[in-house]
Amino acid sequence: MLEKFFNFILFRFSKLSRAAKKILADIESELTEEFVELLLNTMSLYFRINKEFRKNIKGFEGRYLFRSRNGNITLSAVFYKGKMKVSEEETEDPHVTVIFKNAQSLWNYILSPKPDILGSLLKQEVVPDGNLNYLYKFAYMANHLRLKLPDLV
């Protein structure tokens, strides 16, 4: 039983480490369409194993819909009861929908070392629809994860 538990934890850390490596590699090269899903899944995983990080979503209910302009990417992130669930199905009644030109523009918007929310809005590369405060919170969590990525590899 204990062995199964430790293997489970190891598996998760290992999975997280691989995800972190992939994200860092993507950042260095060209961001692909898969980047968004990778990021959200990594975030979800990190919430599961890091108690400190999980404080950000304690008691938090938030529904996010990310959609690329060409329709190729549709992803939902739902925060509920201390967990983050990522899905390719559209969540109902999202607090905020983020329509983005491509993965790079989403990166610029919320994740780069200099998150450029206003700049991306001004250039219309990312168009949010809904409660911007939820977006700011998400951007904080995503950036916090980004800063931790090198430690996870």
Partner 1 sequence: MGTVTFEDISLNQFDLETLPLLKKLRSQLLNTKPEVCIERARHVTEYLQSTEGSGESMEIRYARAVNYFLSKKEALFFDENLLAGTTTCKAFGAPVYPEWTGLTIWPELDTISARDKNPLRLSPQDAEELNLGIYPYWLDNSILEYARKKYNNPECMQLMQKIVFFIGSKAGCISHTVPNFKVALEKGLACLIDQAAVKEAELGRSESASAEDEQKRRFYQAVQIALQGIIAYARNLSRKAAELAATEQDPGRKANFEKMAQICSQVPENPARSFREAVNALWIIQVALHAENINMAMSPGRLDQVLYKYYRDDINRGKLTVKEAMELIGCLWLKLNDNTNLVPETAEELFGGAGTAPAVTVGGVDEKGEDAVNDLTYMMLRVTELLQTRDPSLNARYHYEVNPETYRNRVAGVIASTQCVPAVHNDVVDIRVLENQGTKLEHASDYAVIGCVELGVPGRSYDAPSSIMLNLVSVLELALYNGKRPITGDEEISPPTGEPSMFESFEQFWEAFKNQLKYVMGQAIEFNELLGKAYQEKLPSPLLSAFFEGPMEKGKDLIRGGALYNSSGATNIGFADTVDSLNAIEQAVFIDKKCSFPQLLQALKDDFKGHDPLHQYLKNKTPKYGTDHPVARKNAQNLIKFIFDFYQEHENYRGGTYRPGYWTMTNHAGQGKLTGALPNGRKAHEVFASGITPVSQATENLGACLRNVGSLEARFIPSGQALNLKFPTLTGEADIKRLGEAIEAYFKYGGLHVQFNIMSYEMLKEAKDNPEKYPELLVRVSGYSAYFNDLNEAMKEEIISRSAYDIRTGQAIPLPESTD
- Of 140, 149, 150, 151, the residue at the interface with partner 1 (CB under 8 A) is 140
Determine if 67 is a binding residue for partner 1 (CB under 8 A).
Answer: no
Determine if 127 is a binding residue for partner 1 (CB under 8 A).
Answer: yes
Determine if 68 is a binding residue for partner 1 (CB under 8 A).
Answer: no
Determine if 152 is a binding residue for partner 1 (CB under 8 A).
Answer: no
**Starting at the edge strand that comes first in sequence, how are the strands of the sheet with 83-87 ordered?**
83-87, 74-80, 62-68, 96-100, 126-130
Determine if 80 is a binding residue for partner 1 (CB under 8 A).
Answer: no
| CA dist., res. 143 & res. 120, Å (int) | 16
CB of 10 to partner 1, least distance (A): 29
- Among the candidate windows 1-9, 11-19, 70-78, 109-117, which touches partner 1 by CB under 8 A? 109-117
| CA dist., res. 71 & res. 67, Å (int) | 6
Residues that bind partner 1 (CB under 8 A): 55-56, 59-60, 110, 113-119, 121-124, 127-134, 136-137, 139-140, 143-144, 147
